[in-house]
């Protein structure tokens, strides 16, 4: 299994354990354990579908011999009344996995739908869309997967896969150049050196990096810069390193930022402001 599948398997195990506890007594009390069933996922709201592959993995993990038939794929546009998939398995399996599948797919589809609305606004521009670490604890794996399905790009997954010097790191360290120098030395001594991104709060910070540390930084974050200030910062940087605009970016102003030519814009709201898409799993008896 790849790293995603390993992490998903762990997530499913923990989620089922949380939900089932000592047993699904509602099902155990009235459904024979050998009874087979069939269920279809009904789409009740338009948007971008996400989580089909996750749903398949959940049911296969619960019952390896279950039969999962997909009628839609991740990233498809969906409309009310459509059917996304059909699952044939033991009824106990279907009812055990129902809420987990719906919770994952509804949440993921909401994120993919919102992300798609942002990426649609960036068509024709050089600028690409990033997510952030503003995620639900223990659900980041699927929230970031949904961003990718919606057309966005994952920023660092956690604190371990990039060095990102934010305002607090810089203030605790005693200054932006001091922080960069220490981070560069630290990364250079790692077996697999990490990329370094630095948050800047004003044009003075940008100028300091350009003058003293341009060869030690991979990307500059322009935090809470207006589009006009982003354009000024890009002139100073002159294409020498990657640039990212962050803070206060939404659908009403994202094209203003894209017009500056900045490489990336990051939007935390892709995840924490997304609204779930309405889906339902309806079961039927199989002889």
Residue 243 DSSP SS3: strand
C-alpha atoms less than 13 angstroms from C-alpha of 1 in its C-beta half-sphere: 10
Contacts of 38 (CB under 8 A, 6+ apart): 86, 87, 88, 283, 284, 285, 286
Contacts of 165 (CB under 8 A, 6+ apart): 173, 176, 179, 180, 183, 196, 197, 198, 199
- Is 148 a residue of the active site? no
Give the Cα separation of 160 and 248 in Å (integer): 26
As a whole number of Å, the end-to-end CA separation of the chain is 34
Q: With contact defined as beta carbons under 8 Å apart, do 104 and 54 qualify?
A: yes
Which of 72, 134, 148, 182 is catalytic? The answer is: 134
Task: Cite the active site residues.
Answer: 134
């Amino acid at each position: 299994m790849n790293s995603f599948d390993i992490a998903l398997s762990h997530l499913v195990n923990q989620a089922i354990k949380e939900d089932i506890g000592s047993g699904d007594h509602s099902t155990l009390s009235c459904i024979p354990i050998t009874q087979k069933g069939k269920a279809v996922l009904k789409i009740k709201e338009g948007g971008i579908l996400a989580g089909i592959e996750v749903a398949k993995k959940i049911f296969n993990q619960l019952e390896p011999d279950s039969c999962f038939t997909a009628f839609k794929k991740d990233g498809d546009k969906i409309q009310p009344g459509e059917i996304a998939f059909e699952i044939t398995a033991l009824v106990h399996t279907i009812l055990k996995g129902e809420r987990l599948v719906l919770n994952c797919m509804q949440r993921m589809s909401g994120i993919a739908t919102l992300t798609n609305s942002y990426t649609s606004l960036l068509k024709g521009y050089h600028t690409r869309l990033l997510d952030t670490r503003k995620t639900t604890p223990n659900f980041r794996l699927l929230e970031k997967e949904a961003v990718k399905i919606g057309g966005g790009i994952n920023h660092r997954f956690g604190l371990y896969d990039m060095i990102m010097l934010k305002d607090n790191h810089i203030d605790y360290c005693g200054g932006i150049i001091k922080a960069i120098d220490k981070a560069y030395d630290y990364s250079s001594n790692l077996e697999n050196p990490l990329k370094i991104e630095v948050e800047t709060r004003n044009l003075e910070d940008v100028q300091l990096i350009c003058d003293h540390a341009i060869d030690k930084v991979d990307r500059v974050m322009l935090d809470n810069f207006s589009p006009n200030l982003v354009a000024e910062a890009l002139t100073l940087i002159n294409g020498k390193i990657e640039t990212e605009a962050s803070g206060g970016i939404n659908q009403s102003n994202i094209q203003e930022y894209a017009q500056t030519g900045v490489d990336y814009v990051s939007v935390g709201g892709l995840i924490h402001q997304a609204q779930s898409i309405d889906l339902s799993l309806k079961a039927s008896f199989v002889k």
